[in-house]
Amino acid sequence: MSRTPLLISLLFASLLGAQTYQANWDSLDRRPIPAWFTDAKFGIFIHWGVYSVPAYAPVIPGKLAYAEWYWHAITEGQKPNAGPVDAGSWEMHKKLYGADYPYANFAPQFHAQLFDPAHWADVFARSGAKYVALTSKHHEGFALWPSKEASKTWGRPWNSVEEGPHRDLVGDLTDAVRAKGLRMGIYYSLYEW
């Protein structure tokens, strides 16, 4: 007896029960939260990229400032009506690097020399975390994996394999995290400056 009709029937049945989503928020918001996530309770979320080189955001009481927004802050900080966070970032940038120092010059300095994915995954697992999420591409557009598209879009090497660490940070961490039995999530920013 041939297994082909049975396999076709199973495939057809699985397609009937599959949920399809449209490219809009209403459709995507109908996705159920995975059961494992509800039970996980604790995870690690890592913001890491070229902005880790200057690693700066001013501390201003009552104002939120994020180092991962550094490029945006120094760009906005040059405007006459800049807010205190952006103006503070721009002042620091001029003082340490000079007004003519472009953000892209930080990429070759992003070496990730202390990146040991197996050790990181071990620490995460021992902490009790059940999942890890990594910013694979933040608003600066720098990809932490071999993305030819990122480099093409920006007109320069703009991913971690071509510039900086010269390795696939997403792939290496994903393999290490999964080897420890943790779930791996990827944060990917569509918005770019």
pLDDT at 9 over 60: no
Burial (CB count <10 Å: 0-12, 13-18, 19+), residue 171: middle
| Strands 183-188 vs 131-137: parallel, antiparallel or unpaired | parallel
Look up residue 77 and give its amino acid.
G
Element (H, E) at 173: helix 169-179
| Strands 43-46 vs 131-137: parallel, antiparallel or unpaired | parallel
Q: Quick check: 54 and 93 in contact, CB under 8 A?
A: yes
Distance CA 17, CA 192 (A): 36
Tokens of residue 91, six digits: 């002042």
Average pLDDT, integer, range 22-35: 86
Query: In the chain, pLDDT over 90 holds for what percent of residues?
Result: 77
Element (H, E) at 46: strand 43-46
Q: What is the pLDDT of residues 103-142, one digit of tens each?
A: 999 999 999 999 999 999 999 999 999 999 999 999 999 9
Distance CA 144, CA 136 (A): 5
Q: pLDDT band for position 2 (50/70/90)?
A: low
Q: What is the pLDDT of residues 77-101, one digit of tens each?
A: 999 999 999 999 999 999 999 999 9
- Structure pTM? 0.83
